[in-house]
Amino acid sequence: MTLDQGLVRQLTRRLLGVVPTLLLLITVVFFLVRVAPGGPFDTEKALPPEIQANLEAKYHLDEPLLQQYFRYLGQILVLDFGPSFQYKDWTVNELIAQGFPVSLTIGGVAMLLGFVFGVGIGVGAALRQNSAADFTTMGFAMLGVSIPNFVVAPVLILLFAVYAGWLPAGGWDWSWRSAVLPVVTLALPVIAYIARLMRGSMIEVLHSNFIRTARAKGLPERQVILRHALKPALLPVISYMGPATAALITGSVVVERIFSIPGLGSYFVQGALNRDYTLVMGVVLFYGVLIIALNVVVDLLYSILNPKIAYEEL
């Protein structure tokens, strides 16, 4: 069996699996948001029943639930998420199209930094296992994992924006200056987490037989690490990165709020609180597709990095 055959077979199987998964996701979310008490147009100022009726008619909320459900499925087939109930001048597609590039930029850069620094620090610590440098970096990594970003972010803002005045305290204008603090805030825990993962798995790999063999053959240490140890040691990091990347590039609610960033993350919360059915459905579906796609990527990377895993097993 050649690699290509396996790849094609695997991809086909995964793509066929996507359809029922997404259908299930749509169905569950569709009914779940409608089960929540209160509706999109409930406000403190009670609307006269006539106005309420006009609004519901306009957004087809007066139709039977099943009819609404099939109407929605029909829309999804043509990739139309419908109008937002909350942001009335925009469609959900437009909101995602405006918010996603922002989240993708911040989350993508943060993930990249997380990977580069996390792997670097992790490998470094593993090679100097139990040294002072190892203890110090892992101590910081532990801190990085355990201090929540709603604590880190305000400290960064106070230091670099309010006191020093080097960077803006928030807001977003596509300049690198407005991206620095949110990216750092998001990257810190990722660096810390990946560093710990990497250190652990590197140490484990370094103790395995094939490394001992490589060393016994007299290969230089540099080659042992880079050519033989790094690939298998990356496996747990790669499997962590799939879902973590999906979560990061769809925006962090906390970081978006603290830095007033117009990304996608807040829509999950705002949409749910406002009972903005179409918006919630739109972002959840979008997130779902991203997770599935990134998991496929992870599996592919896995099989490339680890020859022990055959495609059939996936």
Partner 1 sequence: MISRRPVPGIGLALGVALLLSACGGEGESTPIDRAHRAQPVTPVFTDAGLPDPSVLAEEQVLHRDNGEEPQTLDPHLAEGVPAGNILRDLFEGLTAESPDGRVVPGAAMRWNISRDARTYTFYLRREATWSNGDPLRAEDFVYSFRRSVDPRTASNSANMLLPIENAHDVLVGRETPELLGVEALDEYTLQIRLSDPTPYFLALLTHSSTFPVHRASVEQHGARFSRPGNLVSNGAFVLADWQVRSRIVLTRNDRYWNAANTLLQRVVYYPFEDLSASLKLFRSGNLHWTYEVPNNQFHWLEQHYPDELVVSPWLGSYFFGFNLTREPFVADPQLRLALVLAIDRELITEKVTQFGEQPSFSLVPPGIGEYETQVPEYAGWTQAERNEEARRLYAAAGYGMDEPLRIEIRYNTSENHKKVALAIASLWKQVLGVQATLINEEWKVFLQNRSGRVLTQVFRAGWIGDYADPYSFLQLFRTNDGQNDYGYSNSLYDSLLEQVASERIPGRRRRLMQEAERVLLEEVPIIPVYTYVTKRLVDPHLRGWDDNVMDHHYSKHMYLLRSQNAPTPVAEAP
Taking the C-alpha atoms of residue 314 and residue 311, their distance in angstroms, rounded to an integer, is 5
Interaction mask 206-225, partner 1, x per CB under 8 A: -x------------------
The yes or no reply on residue 176 touching partner 1 (CB under 8 A) is no
**Closer residue to partner 1 in complex, CB, 153/225:** 153
- Name 178's Cβ contacts closer than 8 Å, sequence gap at least 6: 167, 168, 171, 172
User: Which residues, listed in sequence order, are joined to residue 83 by a DSSP beta bridge?
Assistant: 91
Stretch touching partner 1 by CB under 8 A, among 17-25, 86-94, 244-252, 292-300: 86-94
Number of residues that bind partner 1 (CB under 8 A): 74
CA dihedral sign, ordered 27, 32, 35, 40 = negative
Q: Rule CB under 8 A: choose which of 178, 185, 250, 252 binds partner 1.
A: 178
Q: Does 44 bind partner 1 (CB under 8 A)?
A: yes
Using the minimum distance from each CB to partner 1, give the nearer residue, 250 or 266: 266
Residues 6+ apart with CB under 8 A from 242: 291, 294, 295, 297, 298
> Minimum distance between the CB of residue 87 and partner 1, rounded to whole angstroms?
6
Q: Report d(CA 57, CA 61) in Å as an integer.
A: 6
Give the helix/strand (H/E) hosting 10: helix 3-35
Site for partner 1 contains 32 (CB under 8 A): no
Q: Say if residues 58 and 47 touch (Cβ distance below 8 Å).
A: no
Is 75 near partner 1 (CB under 8 A)?
no
Choose the binding region for partner 1 from 25-33, 49-57, 217-225, 245-253 (rule: CB under 8 A): 49-57
What is the closest distance, in whole angstroms, from the C-beta atom of residue 272 to partner 1 in the complex?
A: 9
